[in-house]
Amino acid sequence: MGGTDEPGVTEGGLGVLSAGARTLYLSAVRSGGRLVPAESGCDGTSQLRELVEIGLLVPDMDDPGVLVAVDPRQLTAGLSAAWQRKALELLSRSMALPSDFQQLSQAYSEVGADPREGGPVEHLVGKTEINQRLSALFEGSTKEILSAQPGGGARSFPTEAAIALDVGILRRGVSRRTIYQPSTRYSAPTRHYVTAMTAEGGQVRTLDEPFTRLMIIDRTVAVIPGSGDTERAAFIRDEAVIGYLLSLFEGCWERAIPFLGNGDVPPEVVTRLRRNIVRMMLQGVGHRVIARNLGLSERTLARHIAELREEYDAETLFQLGWKLSESFHRLPEGDGDLD
């Protein structure tokens, strides 16, 4: 049996019964072809339901509390014919599905289309519909997928599902480039995703400046947030708009720093991140807001501040702020060091 209790698997491969159901049936046969569920401890089990549903165990007409084993040969011909008819019916329905749904698909696609001159813009509302459309676009891609995802740890798909989808895309020969914020280098799920992606030829970089969420598929469809709402997305097919968005993405890509998914954060990334932390601290921004703006967890932000206090030998946050203010304002804008 191979030790499996998975329905449809037997020693020979594809089968009808689970290993547990087969064992229970053989036990009933060896007990004279009769089984009392209440006494045998199998009452209500999935294995018992399997045997009753398929007809290998039936109630005794004289004693309903007893199940009687049926000769499998009596069931084979009838079940085989019934299942073959069901298979043909399902096959026929599957072949008719594209044409049957064509009108419905066309109507669905036209909903939200922008009839104004300049090309269609389709607006979708709700994460479920947005993710379904993204999945279809990803799976149908043939050339490249570009993504700019600020706060990249908050992915549209669960990490393992995103890895499975994107690795499949890369193995089809579709290129994949993604831009994240530097804070994602501190996110274990994102590092796991990036490691899997780069191992398959994907490219990921981080950019230490504000940028907008954007996806471009095969340079024919661009996806941007709709009206600043994460529950809305605009799917754009206008060539001029896509060309403009492509130029924005390529400019960000050139300024971004490669990210391979390992736990080593390049010094320039740490320096720039801490410069932004310091700038907001000196502006009086609260820690929770700083963490949200930079895409950091409050724990990661606290670790950076603790390391800054140690570096500047500051016992209190007030003392740290005073020392940082002196160092920060002596530097020209864009200088990489805080010392």
DSSP assignment of 191-243, as one string?
HHHHHHHHHTT-EEEE-SS----EEEETTTEEEEEETTEEEEEEEE--HHHHH
Domains recognised in the chain with CATH numbers: 9-70 (1.10.10), 121-258 (3.30.870.10), 267-330 (1.10.10)
What is the predicted pLDDT for the residue at 105?
Answer: 65
Residue 302 banded pLDDT, cuts 50, 70, 90? confident
Query: 277 burial class (0-12, 13-18, 19+ CB within 10 angstroms)?
Result: buried
Are 28 and 56 in contact by the 8 Å Cβ rule? The answer is no
Residue bearing tokens 């298979």: 87
278-298 pLDDT, tens digit per residue, is: 878 878 888 888 887 777 778
Quote the CA–CA distance of 152 and 316 in Å, as a whole number: 32
> 60 in helix, strand or coil?
coil
What is the predicted pLDDT for the residue at 3?
Answer: 41
Q: What is the mean pLDDT of residues 213-239?
A: 86
Quote the CA–CA distance of 30 and 201 in Å, as a whole number: 58
What is the predicted pLDDT for the residue at 327?
Answer: 65
110: pLDDT strictly greater than 70: no
Q: Which of 177, 166, 239 is nearest to 214 (CA)?
A: 177
Residue 123 banded pLDDT, cuts 50, 70, 90? confident
User: What percentage of the chain has pLDDT greater than the value 70?
Assistant: 82
What is the predicted pLDDT for the residue at 12?
Answer: 41
Estimate to the nearest angstrom the gap between the alpha carbon of 71 and the chain centroid.
48
User: Helix H segments across the chain?
Assistant: 19-30, 37-40, 46-54, 72-110, 127-140, 159-171, 188-199, 239-255, 267-282, 287-294, 298-311, 317-330
Using the 8-state DSSP alphabet, how is residue 334 labeled?
A: T
The sign of the torsion formed by the CA atoms of 39, 41, 45, 47 equals: negative
Residues 6+ apart with CB under 8 A from 319: none
User: How many CB atoms are closer than 10 A to CB 140?
Assistant: 10
Strand 203-206 relative to strand 175-180, pairing: parallel
Residues 6+ apart with CB under 8 A from 222: 214, 215, 216, 235, 236, 237, 241, 242, 245
Residue bearing tokens 């994907």: 202
More confident residue, 151 or 329: 151
35-53 pLDDT, tens digit per residue, is: 888 777 787 788 888 888 8
Quote the CA–CA distance of 110 and 48 in Å, as a whole number: 50
Quote the CA–CA distance of 201 and 273 in Å, as a whole number: 27
Quote the CA–CA distance of 244 and 143 in Å, as a whole number: 19
165: pLDDT strictly greater than 70: yes
